[in-house]
Structure 1
């Protein structure tokens, strides 16, 4: 399973989104291929029986991915299994499918390069990784309510805004027009559509489908700014986790998140939280987030 082809992924979109993506592909937006390590890993996972030692060897082929994997499992979400000394230990303790999700996330985080906007590129990944780590901690804490696992939340967190990165790589004016170099500023969807006939959520969805992420995570990426489009199922819960993770990230940075006021009435009940219990919950998550940074 090397991933769904881009054309197959486009077919899963509605007519308007499909047209938008086809136009962007014609204008040179490139959907990144899965790294070889992921292709080999998924091929092994398709077999009914797999040898953890072989899976470990495949992951260890890529030192960058391996290093990032150890960093991720250093999170408080996996504290009951720590310390990890080998990839085999991670596969045994975290689980094979769960580890594959984490490998997929760190593989995307290690891809691509922007020669011009280096500072913006670094800030993008710092934001994505922080949101992903916070989402992982929220999922770990709310697992009885949400039934979303930390590895799934981390995967969604890394991929949710990857469409921004691809548009940034393709369009030289995108960074300035979307104010990405300004602290606390993020992409405005209406502005993005008006200026570039693009939607980073749709682009991210295509990458997620192409990389063969679970369907509910793909849908969460597509609608992470439009939760009301999703029914009462795992995709909606995942969006709630992402939105709260983004809000906690902004609070930790002491930046106002304008979107929160619009979405919090949908997000909080989905996670079994209320306005009264939120401040204490946020404090706990931020404390656990900082523990993983040291």
Structure 2
């Protein structure tokens, strides 16, 4: 992608300088697959014929097959089984299906250039967090007004700066200890070693892919909920953080970030400490049903 200065409009001076240096070093923002671009244009122009839209999605068999996999989630249980792309579009909704396709398309836009094992581990984690976020969003929708397709987008994109940096820096996986499932990115170490911030890179990817502003903001601040003023973005970060926490609990690995955000997350989602274990059991049971 040619460097687009308009993507930097909301960044601070230091962040802009850092991003420009990364572009100078060869960082590239993944471009949208042609099928996704065509689908978004059709939806934006008001195309509502599910036959036309399904033909567009079907042009990419990989995206189509992944879409069938995503809608096997317990979130869409009342519409299952799905027997065609047209059925998915009719039952899930046109814009909602478009959001799911956007989330799915990211993995094909960021293929592994090296360290295949680390890429596979990244996508497995990202997809698990996305699925858990969808289930949490569905459970809390009357309180939070965040919908599963939006949570799916945020879940897939929230750490997408990581594979962008993995593609550019051959030592990124090793230096960030991504071969250890109990470790994740240390922001201070990432900045010290690469003069980079995967949250900001992910935010730029989200803007380039024209994700809703509140989802872009949730990507940028998913490690810093207290910096968010926009209510929808703050709620989305709370859903992401709870999904990440549930992921860690399910994997039986430590989540060092949780104690620092738990009060803000629970308050934002209208949850109490006493109700959290029960919610975890409910979400995990539904997650494992289709995992």
Map of 1:127 onto structure 2? 125
* 8 Å Cα contact 1:4-1:209 kept in structure 2: no
Query: Which segments of 5 or more consecutive residues in structure 1 lack a partner in the other structure?
Result: none
- The residue correspondences of 1:40-59 to structure 2 (distance < 5 A) are 40-59=38-57
Distance in 1 of aligned mates of 2:18 and 2:3: 17
Structure showing greater relative contact order (alpha-carbon pairs closer than 8 Å, 6 or more residues apart): 1
Q: Please, which of 228, 231, 240 is the counterpart of residue 229 of structure 2? A: 231
Deviations 1:183-218 (A, max 9, x none): 210000011111110000000000000000000000
Partners of 1:5 and 1:73 in 2: CA distance: 35
Count residues in correspondence: 291
Alignment CA distance shift 1:183-1:229 (3 Å): same
Which residues in structure 2 correspond to 1:93-104 (within 5 Å)? 93-104=91-102
Q: Which of 177, 180, 185 is the matching residue for 1:179?
A: 177
- 1:49 CA drift (Å): 4.2
Report what 1:19 is aligned to. Answer: 17
Aligned to 1:85: 83
**What is the TM-score normalised by the length of structure 2?**
0.97
User: What TM-score do the two structures reach when normalised by structure 1?
Assistant: 0.96
1:10 CA displacement: 1.7
For 2:148, the equivalent position in structure 1 comes to 150
2:257 alignment partner, SS class:
helix
8 A contact 1:4–1:210 mirrored in 2:
no
Instruction: For residue 110 of structure 1, give the secondary structure of its aligned residue in structure 2.
Output: helix
* RMSD (Å) for aligned C-alpha atoms: 1.4
Paired residues of 1:138 and 1:241 also in contact (CA < 8 A) = yes
Q: 1:240 aligns with which of 238, 244, 251?
A: 238
Q: 1:269 — aligned with what? A: 267
Identify which of 98, 105, 118 aligns with 1:107: 105
Deviation at 1:4, TM superposition (A): 12
Give the distance between the partners of 2:211 and 2:261, measured in 1 at CA: 25
CA contact (8 A) 1:5 1:210 kept: no
Query: Which range moved further: 8-17 or 58-67?
Result: 8-17
Consecutive unaligned residues of structure 2, counting only runs of 5 or more, are none
Describe the shift of the 1:254–1:28 C-alpha distance in structure 2 as closer, same or farther (beyond 3 A): same
The answer (yes or no) to whether the contact 1:65–1:103 under 8 Å persists in 2 is yes
